[in-house]
Structure 1
Amino acid sequence: MRRFITAVVSLVSAIALTAGLTSTASASPTSAPTARPVGAGQGIDECPQKFYCLYDHRGFNIRHADGQIWIFKSPVTDLGTQGAADRASSVVNNLDEPIYLYRHFPTWSDPGTCLEVPPHRHVYDLGLYTLDNEVSSVALREFPCY
């Protein structure tokens, strides 16, 4: 019986990792950001509920099997720490609050270029907002666009 339970637990863990459901998926909104491996993200439906996602290519990587998807739940002041700085071309916001995409993290002296993405919305092409391959940080309620 012990072997059966161990096998079931291992199988469930493997399925959760394959589906991209790691321990950070159930963490609080202030948890560390998570990123999926290359090639794992194509389409709007790949972005889980209660997360926001940045896509390597416009159109949510649909025509790019090698496109990276980065999945976050909390603000990220430096997307470079996740390998995502200046790479996003489309975005999906499945949070219950807006997210704010910045060309540079805002400071008091320089608010930076900013795009607000409302809750449960997406942007097919960030180039339409002069942010294609230009997003370096993402803020939530503490740094809204000016």
Structure 2
Amino acid sequence: MSTSDKRASVSIYCKIYTENFSQAMIDRYATGKEIYNFLLKDAKCCLPLKGDCNLWYLGTNEKFGHIIYNERVWHWSWGEASFDTVQEFIDVVYKDGLFTKGQYLKLSAKIEEGRMIGDMYLIGEYLSEKIKPSTTTSTEKENNHVI
């Protein structure tokens, strides 16, 4: 069975704001590609900005949530969300052969990016900074360079 054909029982949920996290991956029998796409899907919690992926909320939400994958259960309560949990989950899915190496590396990179953001309330600010054009000229950068 190829990576794209394998399926697993999965449930991914966290409580953000009033009830803004997608419920599309609750109690599903999904392929690795479906799980991957869900984790990277825009959560639409920072409108009009785009790019706030579901994965970031799993690691930063202040309330509670769970990830269930086959027989494995990760559950967290108020203030316990962690990217360590999300990384452990994608490690297990990858070891089971549901993610390709490329998918795994991209998810791991998004986890590291999420760690850098650190707080779900800073995701919008982070996305704003990413799209903001640089106001520093190359000459200013050279003048500020310290050896």
**Same fold (TM > 0.5):** no
TM-score, length basis structure 2: 0.29
Instruction: Name the one with the larger helix percent.
Output: 2
Q: Bigger radius of gyration, 1 or 2?
A: 2
Higher strand share: 1
- Give the TM-score, by structure 1 length: 0.29
